[in-house]
Amino acid sequence: MPHFEVKNWTRLDFKTLHATFFKDQPVHDEGEQEPQYPMPVFEFKQICDEQILRAIRRLQPYKASGLSDVVNVVLIKCVDQLVPYLGPIFRATFSLHIYPDMWKEFKMVVLRKSGKTDYMIPNAYWPIALLDVITKVLSACVKETLEYHTEKHQLLPQLQFAGWPGRSAMDSIHILVNFIMDAWRRKKVVAALFLDVKSTFPSKAVRRLVHNMRMRGIPKEYTDWITCKMTG
């Protein structure tokens, strides 16, 4: 649930911005029966205190805070005192299948995109979701585990760049340029089709996401956690 805060003056109402930023969930009918998923490619392991320490130490200290107004620097300065309490709470979200509703709320800051001629168009604005720092640390721990096993077991296509550490937009540009230059050397013509997938965050087809993860061998504990997190 977003709480809007608009930076820079705009006459657009919140309902218009909300309809632009948050699309309706697509309907995916996977059938009444659960598909036969393959065996997990790795075992589920609970979040450990060392992961929480790493996640907190990677935080940027003075980033904008979420609804709780707790800034990152508080966790960084008090990491040794907080980790023994955060560990059991984070692990309980898996063992008890509970994700607090207050962690699902966030502050949405709306900024003007520079260089636009008409700011009465909703797409001339840029939404930034400010999550609570506690949820960011928890998600970072889960992300670390999934990224490690995704890389280790090669669960994503080799030419996928988004969401894969060490594979940036610049890497994709280098591959594209190299492909074009090789084709030109062979006296070939290159045609490119660029698709702009808009308004993908934070709306997700959760059932499809979970299905795809299970088909790639992600343990059910992680997909159940994601379902709990995204519900509502």
pLDDT, tens digit, for every residue of 61-72?
998 888 888 999
H or E stretch including 2? strand 2-6
pTM of the predicted structure, to 2 decimals: 0.80
Look at residue 185 and tell me whether its pLDDT is greater than 90. yes
Domain ranges of the chain: 2-230
List phi, psi (to 5°) of 209: -60, -50
Other beta carbons within 10 angstroms of residue 218's beta carbon come to: 23
- pLDDT value of residue 126: 84
Contact predicate 202/129, CB 8 Å? yes
pLDDT digits (tens, 9 = 90+) for 16-29: 887 777 777 666 55
User: Tokens 């001339």 identify what position?
Assistant: 124
Q: How far is CA 49 from the centre of its chain?
A: 22
DSSP summary character for residue 199: S
pLDDT digits (tens, 9 = 90+) for 195-224: 766 555 555 678 888 999 999 999 999 999
List, for residues 65-108, the tens digit of each pLDDT value.
888 889 999 999 999 999 999 999 999 999 999 999 999 988 88
